[in-house]
């Protein structure tokens, strides 16, 4: 994060140098695609875009997640920004604060699912075009639950879930629930699924105010401590995707995961997918996470980049990506006039039902510091290092420092 601040001056080149760059590359758009691969749905849009613009080419470069953000920042700081990039929306504040990107130009004709635009909004301004979206749900191994002598039904409340998990621990060799507590970003994500299901919040998207130090957060952290008592051994050594292996091996009865989890579980598991249970101060919700398309400042052809971003994040192209990739639908296709949609069937209603009550992945310039706020708090309650009240108070203070 400091790198971008230190090198920001390099972006503010003389107008003559900027124009020279624009003139030399006016017909080529450099498109960085984080993730290391180009999806067929995205490639089809790029191909059509080039066909519709005589003489315009798109240099589409797939870069692994681990180096993608740094590469984009390095190019921008050197005065040679990419035209457009697909990145995690968590990067938007850093990019915007350092004047490296321009605001998105989202059309009123594109109707997003409730809450999606909050994931790209900073104090009222949208900085990215949401392009990939996920929500979370609770997966239950019904064979384990039934072996414990309980009926395998959706727990409506935290108390119901805790009772089910305790019954599994008391009557089987499995743990009741899988918890993520490792020093990794999805430890924060897992906690936020519960916080948002308890009416809590982290940062106000409109004002940027710190909302973490609250009764809802205290209730959530206290519940996390209770879950730790019926979880797998040593939750601080586990991240979310590793819990999948425990679930497949029959070592945990339930855990929270995205829609892709359904196809990653063993076919012989009798799995039930249900909403994250509601806490005492809220209703069932989920963390809302997006990756988005951003238009960089200074390429000399921002309007072409906006057009490409709009094409790739709307209509049939976006629907193709959502449905083929197995993502929670990012647009409200029914409100846009679609009669039949893939998410009306199977497990999808579970993942769409929590969109309106969910909350965004917080957008901070220093994401590592944000991650540490939650990791310290969650690990503190799992390891019984401090009281709930002190841990939340400290987390609130740490978040103040990170904002």
Locate the domains of the chain by residue range.
2-134+289-357, 137-285+366-402
pLDDT band, residue 18 (cuts 50/70/90): very low
CA distance 171 to 156: 22
> Are 131 and 37 in contact, with CB atoms under 8 Å apart?
no
- pLDDT tens-digit profile of 281-295? 999 999 999 999 999
Q: Which token pair is 33?
A: 């695609």
> Are 96 and 126 in contact, with CB atoms under 8 Å apart?
no
Query: Average per-residue pLDDT in the chain?
Result: 91
Q: Which token pair is 161?
A: 């879930």
> Are 71 and 37 in contact, with CB atoms under 8 Å apart?
no
The yes/no answer on whether domain 137-285+366-402 falls in CATH 3.40.190.10 is yes
The predicted model scores a pTM of 0.89
The pLDDT score that the predictor gives to residue 36 is: 86
- Cα 364 from chain centroid (whole Å): 13
The pLDDT score that the predictor gives to residue 369 is: 93
Q: For CA atoms 235, 184, 247, 249, give the dihedral sign.
A: negative
Q: For CA atoms 77, 297, 57, 324, give the dihedral sign.
A: positive
The pLDDT score that the predictor gives to residue 2 is: 30
Q: Identical fold at 2-134+289-357 and 137-285+366-402?
A: yes
CA distance 356 to 358: 6
The pLDDT score that the predictor gives to residue 196 is: 97
Q: Which token pair is 399?
A: 């978040």
Contacts of 176 (CB under 8 A, 6+ apart): 164, 165, 166, 167, 168, 169, 227, 230, 231, 252, 253, 254
CATH domain 2-134+289-357 topology: D-Maltodextrin-Binding Protein; domain 2 (3.40.190)
Helices 158-171 and 215-228, axial angle in degrees (round to 10): 10
12 vs 73, 77, 158, CA distance in Å? 14, 8, 52
CA distance 247 to 143: 11
The pLDDT score that the predictor gives to residue 69 is: 84
- pLDDT tens-digit profile of 168-216? 999 999 999 999 999 988 899 999 999 999 999 999 877 889 999 999 9
> Are 119 and 361 in contact, with CB atoms under 8 Å apart?
yes
CA distance 311 to 168: 49
- Per DSSP (E only), the strands in 164-270 are 254-257
Task: Give the phi and the psi of residue 84 in degrees, each rounded to 5.
Answer: -160, 150
DSSP code string of 8-75 = HHHHS--HHHHHHHHHHTTTEEEEEEETS---HHHHHHHHHHHHHSTT-EEEEEEE-HHHHHHHHHHH
CA distance 27 to 33: 19
- Which H or E run includes 273? strand 271-274
């Amino acid at each position: 994060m400091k790198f971008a601040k230190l090198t920001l001056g390099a972006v503010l080149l003389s107008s003559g140098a900027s124009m020279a760059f624009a003139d030399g590359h006016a017909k080529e758009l450099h498109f960085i695609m984080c993730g290391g691969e180009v999806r067929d749905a995205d490639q089809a849009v790029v191909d059509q875009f080039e066909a519709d613009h005589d003489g315009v080419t798109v240099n589409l470069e797939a870069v692994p997640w681990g180096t993608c953000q740094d590469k984009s920042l390095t190019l921008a700081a050197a005065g040679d920004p990419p035209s457009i990039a697909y990145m995690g929306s968590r990067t938007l504040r850093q990019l915007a604060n350092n004047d490296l990107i321009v605001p998105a130009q989202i059309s009123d004709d594109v109707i997003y699912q409730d809450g999606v635009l909050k994931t790209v909004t900073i104090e009222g301004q949208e900085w990215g075009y949401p392009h990939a979206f996920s929500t979370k749900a609770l997966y239950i191994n019904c064979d384990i639950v039934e072996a414990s002598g309980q009926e395998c039904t959706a727990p409506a409340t935290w108390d119901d879930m805790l009772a089910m998990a305790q019954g599994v621990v008391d009557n089987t060799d499995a743990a009741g629930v899988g918890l993520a507590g490792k020093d990794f970003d999805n430890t924060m994500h897992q906690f936020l699924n519960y916080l948002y299901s308890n009416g809590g919040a982290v940062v106000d998207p409109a004002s940027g105010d710190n909302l973490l130090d609250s009764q809802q957060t205290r209730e959530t952290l206290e519940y996390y401590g209770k879950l730790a008592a019926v979880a797998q051994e040593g939750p601080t050594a586990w991240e979310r995707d590793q819990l999948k292996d425990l679930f497949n091996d029959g070592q945990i009865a339930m855990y929270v995961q995205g829609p892709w989890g359904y196809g990653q579980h063993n076919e012989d598991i009798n799995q039930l997918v249900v909403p994250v249970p509601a806490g005492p101060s809220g209703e069932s919700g989920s963390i809302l996470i997006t990756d988005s398309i951003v238009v960089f400042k200074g390429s000399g052809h921002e309007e072409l980049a906006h057009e490409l971003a709009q094409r790739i994040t709307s209509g049939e192209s976006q629907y193709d990506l959502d449905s083929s990739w197995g993502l929670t639908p990012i647009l409200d296709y029914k409100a846009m006039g679609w009669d039949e949609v893939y998410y009306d069937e199977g497990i999808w209603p579970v993942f769409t039902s929590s969109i309106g009550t969910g909350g965004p992945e917080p957008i901070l310039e220093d994401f590592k510091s944000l991650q540490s706020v939650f990791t310290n708090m969650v690990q503190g309650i799992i390891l019984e290092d401090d009281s709930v009240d002190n841990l939340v108070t400290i987390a609130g203070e740490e978040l103040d420092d990170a904002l």
